[in-house]
A and B are shown apart, each in its own frame.
Chain A
Amino acid sequence: MSREPYHELKARERVAAIADPGSFAEILPPPDRVMSPYLPKLGIPVEFDDGLVAGRATLSGKPAYLAAQVGQFVGGSVGEVHSAKLTGLLKAAARDRIPCILLIESGGVRLHEGSSGEIGIAEAIRAVFECRSAGAATIAVIGSDIGAYGGMGILSACCDIRIMTEHGRLGISGPVVIEKWMGKEAYDSSNRALVWKTSGGKTRFLLGDAEVLSDDSSAAVREAIIAAMNAGRHPDLAFIEAQQAGLQERLDRFSGTSDADEIWKSRGVSDLASANLATASEFVKSITKGAK
């Protein structure tokens, strides 16, 4: 299994690296030409998969549905066809009660398709919960620079498990939008260190927004996915009460904090400089040690 950096791979390469060799069977593949009806009217080139590579595969011999967003195509954005493929895949996973793995790389709704993509993401979110009710694990993998933003950030937060790498980012409003809104003094979107401290994998892992922080290799990501395939949890009252208490505690604990370093320290990071440079596995190990 390959050790190449996960974040450098393209969607089809990711699918090939994550699935058992030769097991991926694509649904509505490019020859079917299921594509955006909007982009040609706006003079924008289409892709015959509309930026979502979706299909069925096995991982370690176990069946799963698997989809990867194509970040190079309109920012991995979600339009009418893209969202319908995603929703269909999630509904299939719920029907068959097998895991649905989403390799996410998306800024959210495709603006060029207006409210159609917005409703499409809302439908996909309903379908995520169909899976969760059926006990089919929903696994969001966020390991690219584009990350998961906007509606795809919300959808990711609805899944059972989030696996992130240090390259991944998870949020709703992106740094450029916030900079425009609050000013460059409040959020300089060109400051990559600040952007990743705000929304990157390590901070999300420390706060519990991502359950797993994986090294940035397709082999490590694959291993983390296989370990999560049985992690489907049907949310019930006890589950949401615990979540409510945890999120409330976090807000109260860090209200008035704008520096992510404070969060890192309070969550067990003793040496900020080395933690910044640590790989995911080194980072996780140092936290676990600190907690003892």
Chain B
Amino acid sequence: MSAVLESFFGNSAKGLHVADNLVTGYASVKGREVCVIGTLEGVYIDNRAALRLSAQVIDCIKTKPGVPVVMLVDSAGQEPNRTAEMLGLASCFGHLLTCLQVARESGHKLVTVATGKAIGGAFICYGMFADAIYALDSASVGLMPVEAMSAVTKIPVETLRELSKTLPALEFGAAPFAQLGGVLDVWPAGAGLEAKLDESIASAVLTDDRARLGKERGGRTLAWDVQQRVLSSTAQ
């Protein structure tokens, strides 16, 4: 059994279905039943994987009213594959998000923990949609490391590294991501995770507070104000 799963679900992790580094099924957190969808070992998410996760969410809505959905994220990204694109990978991701929205509106709380890689489209297509999002301190969270950013943008890596000292948006990792408001809190990997997950399910709220948090924490200074300016300038 995966040590990651055991750290959140204890012995009940045995009841989860793990195949091709995808996790689906039901487990318990401090005695509370939860639905789990997750990725392990940095696996890429393709069309079939997205549909397996969405099928699990649909099953939860149909058979387990109100049971919270826990999303664990350890994925390096979407499968970069021509056939996957041709067959509508974007639609599979959009569908997974739509399933999560229907779950939310049906009264299921949504909580995410980024446990390993939580990168780009793989984080956007389910984990970042939760009511409450957390990351382990050991997780690789963010758009991409500065080396990769440099390779694509042709901006020297030294320049990006220097700027990332004052701009957490350019720095890769859980702590800078939290400064941007992208995760509520960063948890030390190891003991006590089941209790933390239990508390986070209880305290999850339905509003998206990320922009406000990003401003408060000083990492993303403009997003909240710009959103509010658009809203106030259009108010009747």
Q: Which stretch from A8-16, A115-123, A220-228, A283-291 is at the chain B interface? A: A115-123
Instruction: Point out the residues of chain B lying under 8 angstroms from A241, CB to CB.
Output: 58
Structural contact, A38 and B169, CB atoms closer than 8 A:
yes
Known: A27-B234, A123-B223. A172 touches B180 (CB 8 A): no
Structural contact, A237 and B220, CB atoms closer than 8 A:
no
Structural contact, B226 and A88, CB atoms closer than 8 A:
yes
Instruction: Give the distance in Å from the alpha carbon of A49 to the alpha carbon of B80 in the complex.
Output: 32
Which of A28, A119, A132, A235 interacts with B210 by CB under 8 Å? A119
Structural contact, B163 and A243, CB atoms closer than 8 A:
no
Instruction: Point out the residues of chain B lying under 8 angstroms from A80, CB to CB.
Output: 169, 220, 222-223
Question: B85-110 toward A: CB 8 Å interface, digit per residue (1/0)?
Answer: 11111111111011101100110000
How many B residues touch A, CB cutoff 8 Å?
79
Structural contact, B220 and A235, CB atoms closer than 8 A:
no
Name the residue on A nearest B179 (C-beta).
A115
Question: B222-236 toward A: CB 8 Å interface, digit per residue (1/0)?
Answer: 111111111101101
Structural contact, B81 and A178, CB atoms closer than 8 A:
yes
B182 interfacial contact with A, CB 8 Å? yes
Across chains A and B, which 9 residue pairs bring their CB atoms closest together, nearest first?
A157-B94, A88-B230, A84-B226, A116-B169, A122-B128, A114-B169, A88-B227, A181-B80, A173-B80
Of residues 204 through 218 on chain B, the ones whose CB sits less than 8 Å from some CB of chain A are 208, 210-211, 214
Instruction: Point out the residues of chain B lying under 8 angstroms from A237, CB to CB.
Output: 58, 61-62, 102, 106
Structural contact, B90 and A170, CB atoms closer than 8 A:
yes
How many A residues touch B, CB cutoff 8 Å?
86
A271 interfacial contact with B, CB 8 Å? no
Looking at the assembled complex, report how far the CB atom of A9 sits from the nearest CB atom of chain B, in whole angstroms. Answer: 24
Structural contact, B229 and A88, CB atoms closer than 8 A:
yes
B116 interfacial contact with A, CB 8 Å? no
Structural contact, A113 and B54, CB atoms closer than 8 A:
no
Looking at the assembled complex, report how far the CB atom of A14 sits from the nearest CB atom of chain B, in whole angstroms. Answer: 20
Which of A148, A175, A247 interacts with B88 by CB under 8 Å? A247
Structural contact, B94 and A158, CB atoms closer than 8 A:
yes
Structural contact, A119 and B182, CB atoms closer than 8 A:
yes
15 residue pairs from A and B, CB less than 8 Å apart: A42-B153, A88-B231, A91-B227, A115-B180, A116-B220, A122-B123, A122-B182, A122-B210, A125-B124, A157-B90, A157-B91, A157-B95, A173-B78, A247-B88, A250-B87
Instruction: Give the distance in Å from the alpha carbon of A132 to the alpha carbon of B101 in the complex.
Output: 10
Instruction: Give the distance in Å from the alpha carbon of A122 to the alpha carbon of B124 in the complex.
Output: 6
Given contacts A116-B169, A258-B82, list 9 more A-B pairs with CB under 8 A: A28-B229, A54-B230, A115-B182, A150-B121, A173-B78, A209-B91, A235-B102, A237-B61, A251-B87
Structural contact, B120 and A118, CB atoms closer than 8 A:
yes
Of residues 26 through 75 on chain A, the ones whose CB sits less than 8 Å from some CB of chain B are 27-28, 34, 37-38, 41-42, 54, 56, 65
Question: B60-96 toward A: CB 8 Å interface, digit per residue (1/0)?
Answer: 0110000000000000001011110111111111110
Known: A84-B227, A115-B176, A122-B129. A172 touches B211 (CB 8 A): no
Q: Which stretch from B6-14, B19-27, B32-40, B141-149 is at the chain A interface? A: B141-149
Name the residue on B nearest A260 (C-beta).
B86
Structural contact, B54 and A109, CB atoms closer than 8 A:
no
A135 interfacial contact with B, CB 8 Å? no
A199 interfacial contact with B, CB 8 Å? yes
Instruction: Point out the residues of chain B lying under 8 angstroms from A156, CB to CB.
Output: 90, 94
Instruction: Point out the residues of chain A lying under 8 angstroms from B82, CB to CB.
Output: 175, 178, 182, 186-187, 198, 258
Known: A85-B226, A88-B228, A111-B153. A235 touches B80 (CB 8 A): no
Structural contact, A247 and B149, CB atoms closer than 8 A:
no
Looking at the assembled complex, report how far the CB atom of A34 sits from the nearest CB atom of chain B, in whole angstroms. Answer: 6
Instruction: Give the distance in Å from the alpha carbon of A244 to the alpha carbon of B231 in the complex.
Output: 35
Instruction: Give the distance in Å from the alpha carbon of A83 to the alpha carbon of B181 in the complex.
Output: 15
Of residues 231 through 249 on chain A, the ones whose CB sits less than 8 Å from some CB of chain B are 235-237, 239-241, 243-244, 247-248
B47 interfacial contact with A, CB 8 Å? yes
Instruction: Give the distance in Å from the alpha carbon of A47 to the alpha carbon of B167 in the complex.
Output: 20
A203 interfacial contact with B, CB 8 Å? yes
A81 interfacial contact with B, CB 8 Å? yes
Instruction: Point out the residues of chain B lying under 8 angstroms from A87, CB to CB.
Output: 211, 223, 227, 230
B170 interfacial contact with A, CB 8 Å? yes
Instruction: Point out the residues of chain B lying under 8 angstroms from A250, CB to CB.
Output: 87-88
Structural contact, B167 and A114, CB atoms closer than 8 A:
yes
**Most A-side CB within 10 Å, residue of B83, B120, B125, B233:** B83
B186 interfacial contact with A, CB 8 Å? no
Structural contact, A235 and B181, CB atoms closer than 8 A:
no
Structural contact, B226 and A34, CB atoms closer than 8 A:
yes
Name the residue on B nearest A154 (C-beta).
B93
Instruction: Point out the residues of chain A lying under 8 angstroms from B208, CB to CB.
Output: 123, 126-127
Structural contact, B89 and A28, CB atoms closer than 8 A:
no
Of residues 130 through 164 on chain A, the ones whose CB sits less than 8 Å from some CB of chain B are 132-133, 148, 150-151, 153-154, 156-158
